[in-house]
Amino acid sequence: MKRTVFILCVLFFICYNRSDAQKPAHSFALDDSVFLLDGKPLQIISGEIHYPRVPKEAWRQRLKMAKAMGLNTISTYVFWNLHEPLKGKYDFTGNNNVAEFIKIAQEEGLWVILRPSPYVCAEWEFGGYPFWLQNEKGLIVRSTEPQYLEAYKNYINAVGKQLAPLQINHGGNILMVQIENEYGSYGSDKDYLNINKKVFIDAGFDGLLYTCDPANDLVKGHLPGLLPAVNGLDNPAKVKKIIKENNNGKGPYLIAEWYPAWFDWWGTKHHTVSPDSYAAALDSVLANGISINMYMFHGGTTRGFMNGANYNDKNPYEPQISSYDYDAPLDEAGNATAKFFKFREVIQKHLPSGQILPPVPEKKKTIAISSIKFSKQSGLFDILPLPIKNINPLSFEDLNQAYGYVLYRTVTDGNVAGILKIKDLCDYAIVFVNGKKVGGLDRRLNQNSISVDLPKGKVTLDILVENMGRINFGAYLLKNKKGITESVLLNNKEMKDWKMYSLPFNDINSVVIKNNRVEDEVPVLKKGNFEIAATGDTYLDMSNWGKGMVWVNGHNLGKYWSIGPQQTIYLPAEWLKKGSNEIAVFEMMKPAQAELKGIESPILNSLK
């Protein structure tokens, strides 16, 4: 009997201690005007960082910089097309390991605002949606359409398994979770928003949920019962007024996106703003007890094919550049700017008495690479895979290809001149006749037709099409297919019998260079090596090149285009190694270009 009692007492002690250990370390709640952390007011001073736009190896350095500027919180989106690139195939590894990013933030003493809405905008490809959604016949994003809701739920459940345990009410550092994203700028279906809320709760997000919208759209995008946050305002009186009007006369008050800068797109100047006026606005916001999230604190780089684009009935197609420097307080490489120091002064002024910010880490080391030469190269027509054949041209989606390039080929009778028209070209094309370049077509400029003169006999017509980024904002989310999405006409007669060669460049190391032949004006893939004695950040100077992409040590660094404003590609030290490094360049316009160098400063505002 005594032994039984003893065992029961031991079991009770173990269970009690386990229960106690599982109690959340902190509590987070809403008061009428402030957020409450452990029952005490917390003014959230947050900055946006997107984990995939920063090398995983550099996450901690960027988060230390956030602490040094005075931020107590980090905000990030979660990107559906990264985490479910193919239907039912999830990836939370490497640079997609968002849970690790959040845990590092906790180790650095930072709270997190999580934004896992399936739609993120963010100047990101398709607003974060995976391309394969467009292959589900009848699926309508941001709606109650059943196929979309099923895909949405599956994805959020996968995210919940990764991140729900990291909420503050479970002992983690996630303070708040956003449902949808600026939905009021797109629609006003409250039933849809209610479904969003339920999907998140069912996935384990049982803490504080909220919505965010621009001021003019907040009424449409807010779900009653959740905290409404406002984007784009920094007038304290207006912020408080609109939140009270939509929250039963109460706060707390959160500016979910405050824009101390802006993003860039190809062919327009680099956007910059003076730090002084924004420092004054930040001072006013903090003095009035309003919480704030600056978009962006650190932009980083949109690598690979992940840039989005804007488009509406008034403006042409506007694909965004690879640099997401954003003129943010932290520059593209993670160094403090003048804006950083101005904001730091303001934040220090509003900290509790006696609290001192940590020192600002030194600027990261940079290196120059005097000359990078290429040892092998192969023209476009020599690296083609096996084709897919079809009577009509197939879109990227039809080919089950997410990004990159597709070469379309048909053979036709010659001895004819006229107008070649591509109906609904998405987005950039180079046209060849018998392997010779005829010209290019650019969706940005509303170009879809070109004059051709076909010689006698059988003629091979090739059209290389690049996906320059799916639209990430507005009604055209539903019109986002890529490639030749309709037809090709020669003198108004539709051309048939096509071969499609997919060039997704998912793994540049798998593309075999077969020879060193380069033809005039034919796109070329170049590969080589360069030696460095020590690592450091550098910027590849592409100003003498034409248009294309760069890989170093297997990492896709992003796109370049001579039209600017971006003329350099940021190469982070974390992806370099002492000794030999591998480089590859896919150049579309200047195949004869042979040398490249790395310089110590970026060129982000040079138009040609």
Distance, CA of 286 to CA of 346 (rounded, Å): 9
| Pairing relationship of beta strands 111-115 and 174-178 according to DSSP bridges | parallel
Q: Is 595 a catalytic residue?
A: no
Q: What is the residue whose two structure tokens read 């909420």?
A: 167
Q: In what order do the strands lie in the sheet with 28-30?
A: 28-30, 35-37, 40-42
CB under 8 Å to 81, separation ≥6 — which residues? Answer: 124, 125, 126, 128, 129, 130, 131, 306, 402
Are 231 and 213 a contacting pair, CB within 8 Å? Answer: yes
Which of 249, 271, 254, 306 is CA-nearest to residue 115? 254
Question: Which has the closest alpha carbon to 73: 32, 102, 38?
Answer: 102
Q: What are phi and psi of 211, to 5 degrees?
A: -120, 160
What is the H or E stretch that residue 494 is in?
Answer: strand 493-494
What contacts 55, CB < 8 A, 6 or more positions away?
95, 572, 574, 575
- The CB density around residue 295, as the number of other CB atoms within 10 Å, is 23
Q: How far apart are CA 250 and CA 33, in angstroms?
A: 6
Nearest to 559 by CA among 441, 466, 445: 466
**DSSP states of 312-350 as a string?**
-SSS--EEBPSB--TT-SB-TTS-B-HHHHHHHHHHHHT
Handedness of CA 269, 275, 279, 280 (dihedral sign): negative
Which residue out of 84, 182, 397, 466 is catalytically annotated? 182
3-state class of 183 per DSSP? helix
Specify the 3-state DSSP secondary structure of 172. coil
Q: Which amino acid makes up residue 278?
A: Y
Phi, psi of 161 (to 5 degrees): -60, -35
- Long-range pairs, 235-241, Cβ under 8 A, ≥24: 235/284, 236/284, 236/285, 236/287, 236/288, 236/290, 239/285, 239/290, 240/288, 240/290
- Run of H or E including 531: strand 524-532
Instruction: Establish whether 245 is a catalytic residue.
Output: no
Q: Are 52 and 95 in contact (CB under 8 A)?
A: yes
How many other β-carbons are positioned within 10 Å of the β-carbon of residue 159?
Answer: 25
Q: Name the active-site residue from 48, 180, 257, 332.
A: 257
Nearest Cα neighbor of 210 from 183, 232, 240 is: 183
C-alpha span between 89 and 100 (Å, rounded): 20
Q: Catalytic residues, which ones?
A: 182, 257
